[in-house]
Structure 1
Amino acid sequence: MSRLFISDLHLDAGRPQTTAQFLDFLAAECRGAEALYILGDLFEAWIGDDDDSALAESVQDALAICSAAGTRLFVQRGNRDFLLGPAFAARIGAQLLPDFAVITCAGEPALLMHGDLLCTQDSEYLAFRAQVRDPAWQSAFLAQPLAARHAFAERARQASQIRQQGLKDTSQLETITDVTPADVVSVMRRYGVRRLIHGHTHRPARHALEIDGMPAERIVLGDWYTQESRLRDENGRLELSAAPAG
């Protein structure tokens, strides 16, 4: 049986085609799979498990059907959907994974991450991350009405787009938003693995590494709104592929 790994779908009401492709993927390619791992940013924004939008409802219903059919679901939080919580996981029949999760993949230990914590040159983002991951901040935010939370998410998205454009204008985007190689090696050493699988950077590739004289690998998943990227573990054979989006 196969296991599938995806990341960075950024599902949003403004991208209905991406949502349609994901629902088709759940109904077809995931049917009969042993497990599906979603490594963060399933949604463009997640304002809390009480979100009653049509998008939230339809995606959760489809994931619940996939889980009920026998595919085990595992979800990591990303930088966009860091508020995914236990009610969401219970509704779809999934297990929420920590920021660093070690599993057996293709016969050996592999570390799963969203990937944002590897982009250590982006100090402005890491400061924001520390703020919004604070339990007190999250409790205060979730106590606000849904409309206020939606407005905050929209402002945050607009601010992110403006910042990214500014980084492009100064030719800093590629460097700041990519991983720091030394930190990749450090985290793989810390968890005793020679394979790392992550998303976040939207730069799908398989990178050969050497750690302490031993061969290693970093596999990067791509996004879904331009390339519908996925990694398949089929009886110990790994294949990174992408279908045209849209």
Structure 2
Amino acid sequence: MSTLFISDLHLDDSRPHITALFEHYLVSDEVRRADALYILGDLVEAWVGDDDDAELPRRIARATSAVRDAGVPVYFIVGNRDFLLGEAFATRAGFTLVEDGAVHDLYGTPTLLMHGDVLCTDDVAYQQLRRQLRSPEWKAQVLAMPLDARRALAAKARAESRNYTSGADETLMDVNADAVAHAMRHAGVTHLIHGHTHRPAIHHFELDGQTAERIVLGDWYDQGSVLYVTPDERTLRGLPA
């Protein structure tokens, strides 16, 4: 019995070996025998809409729908790179979309599941931008644009993001401890799994007199990263590129 978690794959045509690694992993016995697969956001480097007719979305949909067809449910939380992903693509890809901040029971342990960017509250500029981009009005306006215009907008946003993160204080882009505690208290849990920060680790700390656990998933820029959850343990492992 195992449930698998991945995030921050940032699949992109510029790194075909990572897309191939993703496809190879999804046909492995490990995945096909799992109880469930969770993808906690940033599956791709940029998502321009469910009507994107490029090859990469088609490859993703083929790979993940095959997992679903093998009897393994696939759950997906959107991240800051793919927040425009909607029900149309989720249906094609065999995803069940899950709200950021949902609590799922993992073998008797209620666990808060998040992408993780909302926890980076020290980065005030990012949080302001996030609220704007996640508004229904902004998303509707962008999705009404022609596909080529959306692709150009995504390329511009990626360049601006690279420039911003290259000059930003590293501590700003990590989670805020108070934000973590608030989210866990609000959810009524002592276990949290998230991605986004690309700092894979299992953190243990005290929360209101109880031992709490926060697991950060790794990114897939150079190799794969998977969290294995069983009834008895939670283990982060890397996949060779």
Q: Which residue of 1 aligns with 2:175?
A: 179
Q: Specify the code of the residue in structure 1 equivalent to 2:4.
A: L
Q: Measure the CA separation in 2 of the matches of 1:52 and 1:138.
A: 19
- Equivalent pair of 1:34/1:72 in contact (CA under 8 Å): yes
Structure 1 position 106, deviation (Å): 4.1
- Per-residue deviation, residues 206-245 of structure 1 (Å, max 9, x unmatched): 0011011110100000101123111111233211111233
Q: What is aligned with 1:189?
A: 185
Contact in 2 for aligned 1:89/1:96 (Cα 8 Å): yes
Mapped to 1, the partners of 2:94 and 2:240 lie a distance apart of 29
Matched, 1:108 2:109: yes
Indicate whether 1:220 and 2:200 are aligned. Answer: no
Q: Give CA deviations for 1:114-150 in whole Å, capped at 9, x if unaligned.
A: 0000000111111111111111111111111110000
CA contact (8 A) 2:18 2:223 kept: no
Find the residue that maps to 1:30 and give its secondary structure: helix
Matched, 1:11 2:11: yes
Cα distance in structure 2, aligned partners of 1:148 and 1:89: 23
Question: 2:48 is matched by which residue type in structure 1?
Answer: I
CA apart distance, 1:188: 0.5
Aligned to 2:124: 123
Report the Cα distance in structure 2 between the residues aligned to 1:191 and 1:234, rounded to whole angstroms: 22
Q: Aligned Cα RMSD in Å? A: 1.0
Identify unmatched segments of 5+ residues in structure 1: none
1:208 alignment partner, one of 204, 207, 219:
204
Partner of 2:231: 235
Number of equivalent positions = 240
Q: Give the counterpart letter for 1:220 in structure 2.
A: V
Amino acid of the structure 1 residue aligned with 2:197: T
- Paired residues of 1:6 and 1:221 also in contact (CA < 8 A): yes
AA partner of residue 45 (structure 2): E
1:60: which partner in 2? Answer: 61
Counterpart amino acid of 1:22? F
Find the aligned partners of 1:175 and 1:166 in 2 and give their Cα distance: 12
Runs of 4+ off more than 6 Å: none
Q: Name the structure 2 match of 1:21.
A: 21
1:136-188 C-alpha deviation (Å, 9 max, x unpaired): 11111111111000000000000011111222xxxx1x210000011111110
Aligned residue for 1:85?
86
Query: How far apart are the structure 1 equivalents of 2:140 and 2:97?
Result: 19
Match among 181, 194, 199 for residue 195 of structure 2: 199
Tell me if structure 2 keeps the 8 A contact 1:206–1:220: yes
Taking structure 1 as the reference length, the TM-score comes to 0.95
TM-score, with structure 2 as normaliser:
0.97
Q: In 2, are the aligned partners of 1:106 and 1:238 still within 8 Å (CA)?
A: no
